C-alpha cells in the first residue's frame, strides 16, 4: 500500500490546529502536495451583528476576534472610529494605550511560544509561557477587571488612569519576564531537536511573502522591514525608541527568533512609555451618543499577529452602516500552502504554529 496522493484530513477537532480549522492535505508518501484550509467553523456573523450596535457597544465585541490579544482589536477599532469622527486622543491616553498594547503583544507572543513548542513536542514550554502570561493577565485584571476579553481601550482614550501603584506593578511584572524568557530560550534556541524541526522548514522568500500579502512577524522573518509602528506610526509610537527584529531566511526558526526578539522589544517599549508618561487627561471628550457624519475610513495597526485593520462606513447615525475587518490571520493563512508544499506532513503542524493564527480572527 503506497501513500500516493492520499487525502488526509486534519479535521476541525485536532489538538494542533489552533482552533477549529480544517486542513485538507494531499500527501504523496508523506510529502505535502496541496493544503486546502477550510474555515468558517467559528463564524459568528460579527460584521453583520455590528451593523445593529452603536460604536460603543461594538468595542467589547471586538475582544472576541483575536481572543489572545483582545486589546489590539480594541485599539484598532477605536483608532478607526476616532479617525472617522475626528476625535483627538490626549497624550496621556496615547501613552497608556502604548503600554496596554505592548503588554498585550507580550501576552500574545508568550501564548504563541507555548502553543508552538507544545505542537512540536516540548510540552513544558507551554506551561512556562502561560505562567509568564498569567502575570500580565493579573495586571489587566487589576487595571480594568478582565483578563481575556479585556475591553480596556475605548473610543477616545482609555477608561482608567494608570496610577502609581499600577505603574510599579507593571514594572515588577516586566522585571520577572526576562528570567522566564531565558528559561524558554535555553530550552529551545540551541536545542538540536528544535533546530532540526524548524530550520529550513516552511520557507517563504521576501518577494513571495509580499505577493501573498503576509504581514506581521512572519513577513519580518523573511527580511522585509515593514512594521506599522515604524512605517505608519499611530498613537505616539513615533515617540518610542525600539528596534524591529528581522529574519533572513524566512523559515520557521526565523519566525520563532523574530517573535522572541519582539518580546524583548516590547518590554523595552513599555518601560519607556512608563518612564515618559505625561500628565493630563487620558480620555477625550466623546459625546454619550456618538453620531458620526457619513464617511468611510480605513485604519490599520500592527497587532501581534500582523496588520489588523477596520474599514468603517458611517451614515450619520450612531450605528455604522458597514464594518469590514481585515484580519491578519485570514490573509496569512493563504500562504500556508506555499510554505507547506514540499515539506513533510509532520512539518505542517510546526509551520501552522509558526504562522500564529487565531480562528476567532479568521472566522469573525
Partner 1 sequence: MSKLKALARKVFLLDILQGLAVTLRLYFSKKSTVPYPEKVKLPAERFRGIARLYRDEKGEPLCIACKLCQHVCGTKCFDIEGERDAASKRMKPVKFDWKLERCSFCSLCVEVCPTRAIRFSREFRMAAVDKGSLLFHLPEMYLNGEDLQNFLCAGCRE
Partner 2 sequence: MSPAVSDFVIPVAKIAAVILYPMVMVVVMIWLERRVVALIQGRLGPNRVGFQGILQPVADAVKLFFKEDIIPRQADKLLFNLAPILVMFSSLLAFCFVPLGEPLRIGSYTLTLWIAESPVGLLIVLGLSSISVFGVIFGGWASNSKYPLMGALRSVVQVLSYEIPTGLTVLSVVFFARSMDMVEIVRRQEAAHIWYGFMLPVSFVVFWISAVAETNRAPFDLPEAESELVAGYHTEYSGMKFAYFYMAEYTHMVLASSLVVILFFGGWLPPFPGVKFLAFLHAVPGFVWYLIKIMFFLYLYVWIRATFPRYRFDSLIKLVWKWLIPLSLINLLAVVAVRYLL
CA atoms of 319 and 322, how far apart (whole Å): 9
CB 339 within 8 A of CB 357: no
Site string for partner 1, 52-91 (x = CB under 8 A): -xx-xxxxxx------------------------------
CA atoms of 296 and 81, how far apart (whole Å): 10
Site string for partner 1, 187-216 (x = CB under 8 A): x--xxx------------------------
Kindly tell me which of 251 and 347 has the beta carbon lying closer to partner 2.
347
- The partner residues of 326 in beta bridges, in order of sequence, read 309
Which of the listed partners (partner 2, partner 1, none) does 36 bind, with a CB threshold of 5 to 8 Å by partner kind?
A: none
**Exposed, middle or buried, 98 (CB in 10 Å: 0-12/13-18/19+)?**
buried
Computed on alpha carbons and rounded to an integer, the radius of gyration of the chain in Å comes to 20
236 interacts with partner 1 by CB under 8 A: no
Residues written for the chain: 364
Which of the listed partners (partner 2, partner 1, none) does 123 bind, with a CB threshold of 5 to 8 Å by partner kind?
A: partner 2
Kindly tell me which of 300 and 314 has the beta carbon lying closer to partner 1.
314
Kindly tell me which of 13 and 86 has the beta carbon lying closer to partner 2.
13
Site string for partner 1, 148-187 (x = CB under 8 A): -x-x-------x-----------------------x--xx
CA atoms of 308 and 94, how far apart (whole Å): 18
346: how many CB neighbours lie within 10 A of its CB?
12
| Shortest distance (Å) from residue 116 CB to partner 2 | 10
Which of the listed partners (partner 2, partner 1, none) does 294 bind, with a CB threshold of 5 to 8 Å by partner kind?
A: none
User: For binding to partner 2 (CB under 8 A), which residues are involved?
Assistant: 1, 3, 6, 8, 14-16, 30, 117-124, 126-128, 131, 187-188, 191, 193-194, 196-197, 344-347, 349
30: how many CB neighbours lie within 10 A of its CB?
13
Kindly tell me which of 31 and 210 has the beta carbon lying closer to partner 2.
31
Which of the listed partners (partner 2, partner 1, none) does 151 bind, with a CB threshold of 5 to 8 Å by partner kind?
A: partner 1
Tell me how far CA of residue 83 lies from CA of 61, 152, 160, 315, in angstroms.
20, 19, 22, 15
Interacting residues of 247 by C-beta distance below 8 A, sequence separation 6+: 220, 221, 222, 223, 254, 255, 257, 258
Which of the listed partners (partner 1, partner 2, none) does 203 bind, with a CB threshold of 5 to 8 Å by partner kind?
A: none
Amino acid at each position: 500500500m503506497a501513500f500516493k496522493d492520499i487525502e488526509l484530513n486534519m479535521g476541525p477537532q485536532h489538538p494542533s490546529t489552533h482552533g477549529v480549522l480544517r486542513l485538507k492535505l494531499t500527501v504523496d508518501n508523506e510529502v505535502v502536495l496541496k493544503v486546502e484550509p477550510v474555515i468558517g467553523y467559528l463564524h459568528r456573523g460579527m460584521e453583520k451583528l455590528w451593523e445593529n450596535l452603536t460604536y460603543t457597544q461594538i468595542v467589547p465585541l471586538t475582544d472576541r476576534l483575536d481572543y489572545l490579544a483582545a486589546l489590539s482589536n480594541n485599539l484598532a477599532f477605536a483608532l478607526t472610529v476616532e479617525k472617522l469622527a475626528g476625535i483627538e486622543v490626549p497624550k496621556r491616553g496615547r501613552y497608556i494605550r502604548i503600554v496596554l498594547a505592548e503588554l498585550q503583544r507580550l501576552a500574545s507572543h508568550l501564548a504563541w511560544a507555548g502553543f508552538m513548542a507544545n505542537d512540536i513536542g516540548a510540552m513544558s514550554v507551554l506551561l512556562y509561557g502561560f505562567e509568564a502570561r498569567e502575570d500580565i493577565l493579573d495586571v489587566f485584571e487589576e487595571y480594568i477587571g478582565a483578563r481575556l476579553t479585556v475591553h480596556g481601550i475605548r473610543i477616545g482614550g482609555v477608561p482608567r488612569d494608570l496610577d502609581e501603584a499600577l505603574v510599579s506593578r507593571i514594572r515588577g511584572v516586566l522585571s520577572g519576564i526576562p528570567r522566564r524568557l531565558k528559561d524558554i530560550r535555553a530550552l529551545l534556541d540551541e536545542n538540536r531537536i528544535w533546530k532540526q524541526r524548524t530550520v529550513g522548514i516552511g520557507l517563504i522568500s521576501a518577494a513571495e511573502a509580499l505577493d501573498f500579502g503576509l504581514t506581521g512577524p512572519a513577513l519580518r522573518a523573511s527580511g522585509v522591514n515593514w512594521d506599522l509602528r515604524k512605517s505608519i506610526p499611530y498613537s505616539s509610537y513615533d515617540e518610542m525608541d525600539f528596534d524591529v527584529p528581522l529574519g533572513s531566511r524566512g523559515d520557521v526558526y526565523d519566525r520563532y527568533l523574530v517573535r522572541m526578539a519582539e518580546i524583548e522589544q516590547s518590554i523595552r517599549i513599555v518601560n519607556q512609555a512608563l518612564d515618559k508618561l505625561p500628565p493630563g487627561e487620558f480620555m477625550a471628550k466623546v459625546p454619550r451618543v456618538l453620531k458620526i457624519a457619513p464617511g468611510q475610513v480605513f485604519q490599520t495597526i500592527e497587532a501581534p499577529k500582523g496588520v489588523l485593520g477596520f474599514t468603517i462606513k458611517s451614515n450619520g447615525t450612531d450605528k455604522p452602516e458597514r464594518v469590514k475587518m481585515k484580519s491578519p490571520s485570514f490573509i496569512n493563512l493563504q500562504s500556508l500552502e506555499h510554505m507547506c508544499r514540499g515539506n513533510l506532513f509532520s512539518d505542517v503542524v510546526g509551520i501552522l504554529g509558526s504562522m500564529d493564527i487565531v480562528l476567532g480572527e479568521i472566522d469573525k
